[in-house]
Amino acid sequence: MTRCARFTHFVVGNILGCYVCISVIVYGALLFANHVEIQATQKHHVDQTVALLIQEMKDSSVNSLDVGNLSLDSSGLFFEVSRQLNHEGVKGVFLQTADHSTPIFDHINKETSALDTWIYPFSVREQPVRLCVYVSNDKVWRMFVHRLLWYMGLLFIQTAVIWLLLHCFVVRGLGKAVSGIQQELSQMNLDDPKRLYGNTKFLHFLEYQWILNGMNKIIHGLAASRRELSELNSQLEEKVAQKTQSLEEKNMTLVQLNKKLYTLANTDSLTQVYNRTRFDLLFREHVAMAEHKKTPLSLLLIDLDNFKRINDQFGHQVGDHVLYVTAKLLESVVMNDGIVARWGGEEFAVLLPHIAIQRAQHIAETLRQRLEMASFDDPAIQVTMSVGASQLLLGENGMSLLKRTDAAMYQAKNMGRNQVIVDAGPDEKGVS
């Protein structure tokens, strides 16, 4: 079922529902009025018949009210009265005096439903008496149920006829009107909306025109809102792009500044190798790692010989250049096998993880020879180094390793400079 069909059936269902509700109220009122009228008619007929009975009793030749045979069921004087009372639903008539009650008409049995009692007082031979009439409502209710069924059948037939009429005229007509609008809406482009014209057969209905005009206003309002939203979205995207670009530029600047800060914090500004602070941190980490993994760790401490004489003779700028060239020479020899750092002044430190003392001694000797053969701008400049070398011993801490290496370096200086002294441990020492 399409949306259009669902809409038309919804409209027809509401119309039928309203009609059925109104019809039930109207038929209920008519049924109640008819029930009241039937009760009044029954009362009127019984009153007339009882009045005739009373008159006939007064005019009859009854000698005494104490006689036992005043029955209306036998043929004779009261036969017609009996027939009329029975027709109106009277189940019993009793003549009551002050001391006894005489049945005149008695059809009361166990199957008889609840009875209404109607009292008719009168006098016979100046003696007050009354007739008690017991009336059943079965006839009234049978007529009520009959009329109810008749109304229900009439309502069913009327509803069916109205449904057929609505289906033939309203559903089809409304379906055509709505389907035309639905087809136009399905083909509409909100970027450039066209006016809705609907079904031309219904344009002469003012209500149909109102609906179309209202829908056109809504559609054009939606289109305008969509254009405004698109413009706002474009502006927002542009601002976001600008902010993003600005943030990226600032982030790149921040990264570069962080790199510079890292370099300044960890690198010696003159020689461009690690400074003492960074070396101390790396030294502690590698000592802990060597102790944990039981791997060799060697340390070289280097001091440039007679460096003060170079500063005094050639100037501090030349001295700075010598320090820079020395640092680069150390890096070129050690490469990825170790860590080079400026220890302070004209002293350098070289940390050699995973390298035993024999290879460390060879590296130290290579460094010493390369620096001795290095050339500078002034041929009169000749630089040598004194090197102390040692390896971390089992159970030794970092402070002890530094002291032994530093002592070996000073021993090399004291023994004539330009040489490598190896501190192999507390039992033996090697000289190169």
**Two structure tokens written together for 75:** 């043929």
| pTM, to two decimals | 0.47
Residue 219 lies in a domain: no
Stronger pLDDT, 154 or 113, i.e. the higher one = 154
Task: State mean pLDDT over 26-34.
Answer: 89
Helix ranges restricted to H, 92-191 = 138-165, 172-186
Which residue do the tokens 């003012």 mark?
206
Q: Whose structure tokens read 């200086």?
A: 413
182 domain-assigned:
no
Q: Is the dihedral of CA 165, 167, 173, 178 positive or negative?
A: positive
Question: Which range is least confidently modeled, 112-121, 257-266, 284-293, 368-377?
Answer: 112-121
Same domain, 137 and 280: no
Range name among 43-47, 111-115, 263-267, 414-418 with the lowest pLDDT average: 111-115
Number of domains making up the chain: 2
Please name the residues in contact with 162: beta carbons below 8 A apart, sequence gap of 6 or more. 16, 19
Task: Report if residue 103 sits inside a domain.
Answer: yes
pLDDT at 65: 47
Predicted local confidence at residue 178, as pLDDT: 67
**Could you tell me how many residues make up the chain?**
432
- Residue 53 CA to residue 134 CA, distance in Å, equals 15
Is 180 a domain residue? Answer: no
Residue with token string 């802990």: 288
Torsions phi, psi for 300 (to 5 deg): -115, 130
Give the residue-averaged pLDDT of 15-42.
88
Percentage above 70 pLDDT, the chain: 81
pLDDT at 280 over 90: yes
pLDDT, average across residues 411-419: 95
Residues 6+ apart with CB under 8 A from 79: 72
Residue corresponding to tokens 């170079």 = 310
Which of 141, 176, 211 is the last residue in one of the domains?
Answer: 141
The confidence score (pLDDT) of residue 91 equals: 76
Residue type, 231: E
End position of a domain, from candidates 84, 119, 141: 141
**Does the structure show a pLDDT above 90 at 15?**
no
- Are 405 and 343 within 8 A, CB to CB? no
**CA dist., res. 225 & res. 220, Å (int):** 9
What DSSP string runs through 3-65?
HHHHHHHHHHHHHHHHHHHHHHHHHHHHHHHHHHHHHHHHHHHHHHHHHHHHHHHHHS----T
Task: Report residue 172's pLDDT band, with 50, 70 and 90 as the boundaries.
Answer: low
Among 89, 107, 141, which residue terminates a domain? 141
Query: Does residue 196 sit within a domain?
Result: no
Of residues 143 and 302, more confidently modeled:
302
Q: Which segment of 38-52, 54-68, 143-157, 237-251 scores lowest on mean pLDDT?
A: 54-68
Higher per-residue confidence, 19 vs 59: 19
CA–CA separation, 3 and 116 (whole Å): 60
Containing 195, the helix (H) or strand (E) segment is none
Q: Is the pLDDT of residue 350 over 90?
A: yes
CB half-sphere exposure, 262, CA atoms < 13 A: 6
* Greater model confidence, 372 or 63: 372
pLDDT above 50: residue 193: yes
Compute the mean pLDDT over every residue in the chain, rounded to the nearest whole number: 82
Asked, for residue 401, whether it belongs to a domain, the answer is yes
How far apart CA 133 and CA 120 sit, in angstroms, is: 8
How far, in Å, CA of 272 to CA of 140, rounded? 122
| Range of 155-169, 295-309, 418-432 with top mean pLDDT | 295-309
In a domain, 396, yes or no: yes
314 located within any domain: yes
The continuous run of DSSP H or E covering 128 comes out as strand 127-136
**pLDDT for 319-345, tens place per residue?**
999 999 999 999 999 999 999 999 989
Mean pLDDT, to the nearest integer, of 188-217? 74
CA–CA–CA angle 409, 413, 419 (5° rounding): 75
Q: With 50 as the cut, is the pLDDT of residue 77 above it?
A: no
Which residues form the domain of 83?
Answer: 3-141
CATH number of the domain to which 341 belongs:
3.30.70.270
Q: Which residues are catalytic?
A: 346
